[in-house]
Structure 1
Amino acid sequence: MLNVSENSFYTGQTSPIFNKNIAKQARAFHRQIEGYKPTPLVSLPLLAEKLGVKSILVKDESHRFGLNAFKVLGGSYALGRLLAEYLNIDIAEIDLKTVSSKLDKPLVFTTATAGNHGTGVAWAAREMGQKAVVYMPKGSSLVSAERIRGLGAECIVTDVNYDDTVRLANKTAQENSWMLVQDTAWEGYDKIPTWISQGYMTMADEAIDQAAEMSEGQPTHVLLQAGVGAMAGGILGYLADRLGADNFKTIIAEPAVADCIFRSGTSKDGTIVNVSGDLNSIMAGLACGEPNPVTWPILRNCSDLFVSVDDNVAATGMRILGNPLKGDQAITSGESGAITMGLLYLLANHPEGQKIAQSIRLDQDAVVMIFSTEGDTNAERYRQIAWEGMLPL
């Protein structure tokens, strides 16, 4: 249920590509998109009291551009940077509503996705008057596929796992001269994944600005979920630069069946370790076996703990957020969004978790920040978990 390792590679070294200055550039781009507004940062004071911490702050990404997930931040910023580069103009000159008029014909963007990233790319392509082709791994939610198609993109569900689907998308892009917009990197392909992770920093920039206006104060503990680590790395890089890496504790959480970050963090020399197989988890957005080499260095340098958990931990987080103590606000959080809340609950209530919490001073003086990165993107399964009690602890 709970597998924890202290990060022996911690240095606190910040990143030159994930910092507050670049975050400001990304947020300036997002601000000019019609419908932009910061998503809520929700305080849960009664839950904080029950779990023995000072405050719990939850960034609720179910409100992002009406897409029920945060991923559009990365996809839209990457598409904006790609179009700016293609047109040889500054990204500040990219207007989503008029950029298509600068092109002779629409460009085709393609990606592999577990759902939310592809939705973001499809939405951004549509908003910019471009085309998108999205590949999904076997076992993907048909609801997610239909949502992507509803945004005007072509969506193809493959018969291989996520990492092999990424390879298929890359191969097809090369064969058709399409632009691959992937949120993981490999040798020779790191510029676009960097832009995607930089786009995610808007979420953290909003959260820290919002926290500055609240009585709870800035976070002393941050819990981040990881698939390939693109979001976790971008967010952690920003926070380490703005707050100082030594001023808060960071826990990186993953599904046990796809714990590539955990295994990399517990390797002999801190090098990347891949996980293969079907990687079946309810946390589809985190079911990735190959860490992003662009963001791995910041995770290695600035994380305090690596944790892998079973699916029932995420399910518990969903139920806690959706069924709050009287007086706290309800938050609809999907499987990949709620893993950190489930983990926080374990750290407060599980005997082994309590020892870990004590070791990192997760106590009555702790201000905990978590990022609920998606809402009920799979509504049927959300009901099975929240209503019917699927996957109990």
Structure 2
Amino acid sequence: MKGRPLILGAGPAGAMAAIMLGRAGAEPILIDRDAIVGDALCGGFLSWRSAERLRGIGLGLPDIGAHPVTRLALYAGKAEAHAELPETGYGLSRRGFDTAMRALAVSSGAELQIDRIRQLSPGAAVGERQEWRSGSIFLAAGKHDVRGHSRPRQSDDPALGLRIRIPAQAGLTRLLGGKIELHLFPGGYAGIVCQEDGSANICLALRKSMLAAAGGDPRALLDRLAGEHPHFGQRMAFAASDLTIDSIGAVPYGFIAQGTQPGLFRLGDQAAVIPSLAGEGMSIALTSGAMAAKFWLEGGGGAAENYQRAMARAARRPVAVAKLIWETAESERFGQPLVRMAGLAPWLTNLAMRASRIAA
């Protein structure tokens, strides 16, 4: 199997690489830890840039039931602002999206294997089932690190992610309409969007200290935010007390891989982690998968370092813009003025959305 590329992770980045490599006849091996596609915490919104790239490989988001989104709504305290998206985006669960991408990868010539990779070293991925060897490994493990290739986490108060999904309800659907909403809090924000089954997906990026102040109880934290922020509370009023709350800790927002090892291509969140309020995480994942496949097809495993540098250059501006917006938005001092400014000058919101897109 030395000549066949290994792709670790069948999420959007890994599946995109598998599709491009498979269609070129490279017979990639796509390894994922789950035989049944799960529902990852992040990535329930796909921007118009993602939709465009997916149309290019023959996957139309409306064809798989994605919920069209045409407007952005911003809330901070009593301030609110609304803007049209430059083009239509989509709300789609990761289960729905990843299922479609995995199926397209297999039909494009990838071989899907199920194994949980425990450790990665040059030329080898050690799984629970067996050791996989190849001169070309594509690391697409999402926000979860693989032993031997952890990303730096240096923040004194790191970001964590929470997600709650509220089942479809007519009143909530009317509130959200065709919008994606961003609710800004001191110390974090929440993104809310309807998905293909009419459910409302609520993803939050918050400082760890906020959870600690709520006694480590995610539901207590959500209830506190709902009480302090009326617009968010209006949405959370539809959430039953027994709904599952998913979480992920120490998300290294702003990380960009500047280099790599020979034969190792870092994709998706292993290449760059953009603050999720930009709605560009999926586009970065897809771009990295396609770019890595292109470099491999032109230069094999020896092209890994050139790919990583090119990917870092492509991610630099959108990640920097999104990080600046995130740091401003979560500030108690600047969050409400930011929303008021967006309300007075909607063109600024449109400019920020375009500036945080990765080049196709």
* TM-score interval, smaller chain: under 0.3
Q: Quick check: which one's helix share is greater?
A: 1
Q: Quick check: which one's strand share is greater?
A: 2
* TM-score of the superposed pair, with normalisation by structure 2: 0.27
* TM-score of the superposed pair, with normalisation by structure 1: 0.25
